């Protein structure tokens, strides 16, 4: 719980600064004499002012961005910029004082760099939350980790809105590549509850791999869960999404009642209640990097 409290504290502090900035800017527009923005026709103007404030707040000088990423000093960064070693969103930048946003893709000698501290957050996702960074999809997993860090993290892979379980968030591109690498990938263990018992012949078919629409479908492991009905299956995959599981069981004539990611590689739900998150320990991070 202390980790949650600490994260909430960071979020509160950040929100306080934004609120103060927004208040100062709103005073520049038309108002009713009491410091309140008028409704109706002034609403678009207010939205424009707030949007401009957010954009300016995100701006950072390119040499500082490079220095913060640990590549070199600001002075050296200026030299590398001048000779064309730096690109922003695919475009070579040689302008001194050029400003970028944290969301921009900045590359130094072809390698992408990031000025933010590498952060790793593990969430035990409940039902009803979409795995997306979009703000127009209702309740999302980003709402659940909003107070975890001020660093811009994103979920790796997807869990359906009604799926449960572990979801890893990070801003570490190398870890993301480990998950999305089609040859290696990172194993995830799911507990799948079906609408009826899984027949043994279907169990063997999944275990050995079979073709759907001409494509061979394979999983890493499959097993019945000890002490549970034959309708509850443990199945391990390396795909970043879980649509392959729906594809398998739809083809075999089963409906998935419950889908729960119970492990990602060595990471488990131990001491992590549903709807809660935690920061990975140094050992857990190192173990991920060694996969």
Residues 6+ away with beta carbon under 8 Å from 250: none
Q: pLDDT tens, 230-249? A: 999 999 999 888 899 999 99
- Contact yes or no for 144/4 (Cβ under 8 A): no
- Contact yes or no for 88/62 (Cβ under 8 A): yes
The DSSP call for residue 41 is: G
103 lies in which domain range? 60-113
Structure tokens at 259: 């889908």
Beta-bridge mates of residue 164: 260
CA quadruple 146, 152, 156, 160: dihedral, nearest 10? 40
Distance of CA 225 to the CA centre of its chain: 30
How many domains does the chain divide into? 1
For the beta carbon of residue 72, count every other beta carbon within 10 angstroms: 15
Structure tokens at 120: 């790793």
In a domain, 214, yes or no: no
In a domain, 185, yes or no: no
Q: How far apart are CA 274 and CA 176, in angstroms?
A: 24
In a domain, 184, yes or no: no
In a domain, 85, yes or no: yes
Nearest by Cα to 170 from 145, 207, 201, 191:
145
Residues above pLDDT 70, as percent of the chain: 80
Q: What is the pLDDT of residue 21?
A: 43
Edge-first strand order for the sheet with 106-108 is: 91-92, 86-88, 106-108, 111-113
In a domain, 261, yes or no: no
Given CA atoms 96, 98, 103, 109 in this order, what sign does their dihedral have? negative
Q: pLDDT tens, 151-161? A: 889 999 889 99
- Contact yes or no for 241/190 (Cβ under 8 A): no
The stretches of 100-210 forming alpha helices (DSSP H) are 141-144, 173-180, 200-208
Q: What is the pLDDT of residue 70?
A: 80
More confident residue, 53 or 143: 143
In a domain, 158, yes or no: no
Q: How far apart are CA 53 and CA 183, in angstroms?
A: 44
Q: What is the pLDDT of residue 116?
A: 82
Q: What is the pLDDT of residue 12?
A: 43
Q: What is the pLDDT of residue 182?
A: 66
In a domain, 106, yes or no: yes
More confident residue, 169 or 39: 169
Q: Where is 3: in which H helix or E strand?
A: helix 2-26
Q: What is the pLDDT of residue 37?
A: 36
Q: How far apart are CA 43 and CA 61, in angstroms?
A: 32
Q: What is the pLDDT of residue 50?
A: 41
Q: Is the pLDDT of residue 270 over 50?
A: yes
Q: How far apart are CA 120 and CA 281, in angstroms?
A: 9
Q: Is the pLDDT of residue 183 over 90?
A: no
Q: What is the pLDDT of residue 227?
A: 94
Q: What is the pLDDT of residue 224?
A: 97
Residue 72: give its domain's CATH number.
3.10.290.10
Nearest by Cα to 264 from 174, 169, 198, 183:
169
More confident residue, 197 or 38: 197
Structure tokens at 112: 């992408």
Structure tokens at 232: 């509850």
Whether the model clears a pTM of 0.75, i.e. scores above it, the answer is no
In a domain, 1, yes or no: no
């Amino acid at each position: 719980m202390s980790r949650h409290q600490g994260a909430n504290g960071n979020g509160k502090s950040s929100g306080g600064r934004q609120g103060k900035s927004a208040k100062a800017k709103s005073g520049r527009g038309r108002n009713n004499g009491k410091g309140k923005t008028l409704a109706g026709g002034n609403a678009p103007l207010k939205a424009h002012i707030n949007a401009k404030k957010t954009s300016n707040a995100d701006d950072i000088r390119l040499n500082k961005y490079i220095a913060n990423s640990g590549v070199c000093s600001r002075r050296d960064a200026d030299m590398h910029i001048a000779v064309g070693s730096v690109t922003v969103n695919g475009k070579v930048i040689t302008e001194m004082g050029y400003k970028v946003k944290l969301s921009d893709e900045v590359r130094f000698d072809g390698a992408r760099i990031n000025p933010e501290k590498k952060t790793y957050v593990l969430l035990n996702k409940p039902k009803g939350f979409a795995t997306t960074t979009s703000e127009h999809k209702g309740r999302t997993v980003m709402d659940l980790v909003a107070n975890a860090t001020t660093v811009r993290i994103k979920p790796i892979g997807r869990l359906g809105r009604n799926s449960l379980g572990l979801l890893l968030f990070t801003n570490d591109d190398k870890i993301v590549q480990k998950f999305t690498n089609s040859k290696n990938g990172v194993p995830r263990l799911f507990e799948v509850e079906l609408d009826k018992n899984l027949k043994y012949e279907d169990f063997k078919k999944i275990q050995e791999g079979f073709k759907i629409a001409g494509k061979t479908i394979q999983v890493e492991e499959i097993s019945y869960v000890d002490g549970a009905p034959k309708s509850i299956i443990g199945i391990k995959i390396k795909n970043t999404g879980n649509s392959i599981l729906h594809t398998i069981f739809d083809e075999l004539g089963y409906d998935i009642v419950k889908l729960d990611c119970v492990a990602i590689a060595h990471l488990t739900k131990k001491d992590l209640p549903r709807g809660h998150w935690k920061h990975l320990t140094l050992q857990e991070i190192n173990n991920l990097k060694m996969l």
